Structure formats: C-alpha cells, structure tokens
Amino acid sequence: MNTRDSLTADGRDLRVDFFLGIANWFIFLDHIPGDAVNRITLRNFGFSGAADFFIFISGYAAAVFYAGMMAERGFVVGATRLFKRVWHLYAAYVVLFVIYIVAIGDVASRYEAPDLIYEFNIAGLVEQPLRTLAHGLLLQSKVLNLDVLPLYIVLMAGFAPVLWAMMRKPDLTMAGSLLVYIAVRHFGWSVPTFPDGNWYFNPFCWQLLFVFGGWLALGGIEKCSVLVRLPGLQGLGIAYLIFALVMTMAGHFPQLEDAFPGWLFDTFNPNDKTNLAPYRLLHFLVLLFFVTRWVPGNSPMLKWSIFDPVVICGRQSLAVFCVGVFLSFAGGFVLMLSSGSLRAQIVVSVLGIAILTLVAYYISWSKQQSKPLPLLAAQVSNSVEK
C-alpha cells in the first residue's frame, strides 16, 4: 500500500481514540501526589509509560489527518490547518498555565502551605514574577505536570515540513529522525528552561516517537509486517517485558534491588525519561507490537459500550488533558487536607476520571449542536440556489 492509499482507507481506527483515552486517564492518575491508585498505571510495570503512548498516537493521528489534507489540497492548505491546530494548543496551554499557577499560589497562601510553591516549581513567581510569566509564555516554564503539553506544541509546530518530506520519502525521513535522536543523546543537546535546568521531555529525543507514529500511519505498518512475523519474536518480546517489570520493581523495593549487581540496576534506575532512553523506546515498541497483534483495528471489542467513556476521552484529548492537569492538583490537595486514606485516594481518583469523562461527553455533545441539522441545511441550500 502506498502513501495515498493508506490515507484513503475506509473506517476510523478506534484504537487511536481508545489508547489516547487510556493515556489521558493514566496521566491524570500519575500526576496526583500520594495516590495509591496510580500504581496501576503503565509506568509501574515497565520502562515506558502513558506519555510515550500519548506522543506516539498524537503523531499517528496528525499524520493521518493532515497528510490527507496535504494530498488533496496541497502543502500550503495542510500546513496552515496544522498551524491553526498549534495555535489552539498554545492557547489552551496559556489558559491552563495562568489558571494553574494562580490556583497553586492562592492555595499556598490561603492555607499557609508555602512548600507548594516549591513543589510545583512556581517559586520564581514570588522572586521574579514578570520574567517567570514571560518565560512561561515562551514554553520555558518548569511548572510541575505541564511538561507534556509544551512538548506536544513544539512537535506539532515543526511537523509540517517533516510531514511534507515523509509523504515523498517516508523511509529517508524516518532515518533522519533517528539520526537526530542518536546525535542528541551523544552530544547532550536540550532546551533550557527558566530560571535554570532543561525541559523534562527533551523534544529532540521525543520527536522520534512522534515521527515514528506518522511513519507508521503513512505505510510503515506494511513495511514492518515482515519483521513482526519473525519466528521467536513474540517470545523475545515477552521476555523483555518481564525483564523491564523486574527492573522497574527493583527501583521500588530495596530488597529486590539487592538481588542484582549494581551496574545492572544503575543502568535502568532511575529511568531516563527526559532523553527517551533506548531501553525505554524498545519497551514501548514491544508493547506496540503486542497491542497491534492482540487488538486489531477492526476489533469488535472496541465498539462495546463499556469502552465508550474511554473512546470519548480520547477523541476530546486536549480538553481532557488540560482538565486532568488541574484536577490532579485539586485531588492531591484534597488528599493533603483529608486523612489521605486508601478510601479517600480511590474516591478522588474515580471522581476525577468521572469528571474527565463528563467533560469529554459535554464537548462532544456541544460540537454536535454546532453542526446544522441535515434537513435545515438542505432547506438553506435550496433557498440559496433559488
């Protein structure tokens, strides 16, 4: 299947929405401090986590949508629509950034909890408020839990020329992305933040997952089909997942850590999330291999009504992510003020996911109401023709 054929295939791959919804739920849970419920999220069972799936799926979805537009209407139209999406992402970031820091500052002041300012990396607002705000608007803020959105904005902002090249030379473009990843890890390049330090997610490394998602969407899946059928690959994949699970657990339990040589434990702990360590990337690829193998795109399971909330949250990913960031702070604060018991943690987690789902359903409903009814649209069309 060539690039254009892959863009016009019938049907919507529900796996994109399903796993993007799961990723958003896990990101929300992972951001709640002191919550035992987030022990069930992906990051606790191996090297990769929800952020990896979020970035990969975002690249896949962007390639499907905007490459189709470029193929039909030209590069300029596709690029301008892509930049329009970037503007929406940036506007959402600005609103979230302002509300988030105001809420944290207000809570820290109202409840005499100055440690919150340092815990969420907004101490600069007290010392240099204007410079901190300015750098925050330039995506150079280190405010806790906002790291994924600036990464997504930057990757989308630079995706137009990458997508143009991928539609013509997909394999060469993918190789270029890999070379950038290798060079960045070798030379230690990164993006600085204010007042010090670097981005938590190095965009020069994480672009590999984003571009890889786009490459798979534009025909890469067919090219990988021979590789995934190699005998013994499934067994090797299971073995690696078990190894990643053991190494991750060793980072949580000192008794298990003592069972391994220091050099082996130190190789994988702490997990190099910032620069997307090769072992983390491999773990994600193995998970992706099993996901595509066990959950085909036409799986009837994805259409079960029980999974509708997850799918809806995936389709309204931006709103769910933004609301989730704020709710994770609110949930952590509630736990801090309450007993913090396991029951309270479960209630906060379940209630938060319920709110995210309601937000997603409301936005989906609202978008439907903005569309003209078919009968009304036909009447308007007829009146115009007359």
The pLDDT tens digits for 254-301 are 899 999 999 999 999 999 999 999 999 999 999 999 988 888 777 888
Would residue 230 count as lying in a domain? yes
Q: List, in sequence order, every residue forming a beta bridge with 198; answer none if it has no partner.
A: 192
Instruction: Say if CB 216 and CB 58 are below 8 A apart.
Output: no
Residue 228 has pLDDT above 80, yes or no: no
Would residue 382 count as lying in a domain? no
Q: What is the mean pLDDT of the chain?
A: 88
Would residue 377 count as lying in a domain? no
Q: How many helices (H) and strands (E) does the chain have?
A: 20, 0
pLDDT at 382: 52
The Cα angle at residue 57 between residues 194 and 18, in degrees rounded to 5 = 120
pLDDT at 6: 37
What is the C-alpha to C-alpha distance for residues 210 and 250, in angstroms, rounded to an integer?
A: 30
- Preceding omega of 270 cis (within 30 degrees of 0): yes
pLDDT at 162: 97
Structure-model confidence comparison of residues 365 and 293, the more confident one: 365
Domain membership of residue 139 as a residue range: 3-366
Q: What percent of the chain has pLDDT over 90?
A: 66
The pLDDT tens digits for 137-148 are 999 888 888 899
Residue 94 has pLDDT above 70, yes or no: yes
Would residue 375 count as lying in a domain? no
Would residue 303 count as lying in a domain? yes
Residue 10 has pLDDT above 50, yes or no: no
DSSP, res 113: -
In this prediction the pTM is: 0.91
Would residue 371 count as lying in a domain? no
Would residue 378 count as lying in a domain? no
pLDDT at 102: 86
Would residue 261 count as lying in a domain? yes
Structure-model confidence comparison of residues 300 and 172, the more confident one: 172
Q: Is 192 helix (H, G, I), strand (E, B) or coil?
A: strand
Q: Average pLDDT of 217-242?
A: 87
pLDDT at 372: 66
Tokens representing residue 19 in the block: 């796993």
In the chain, the number of structural domains is 1
Residue 320 has pLDDT above 50, yes or no: yes
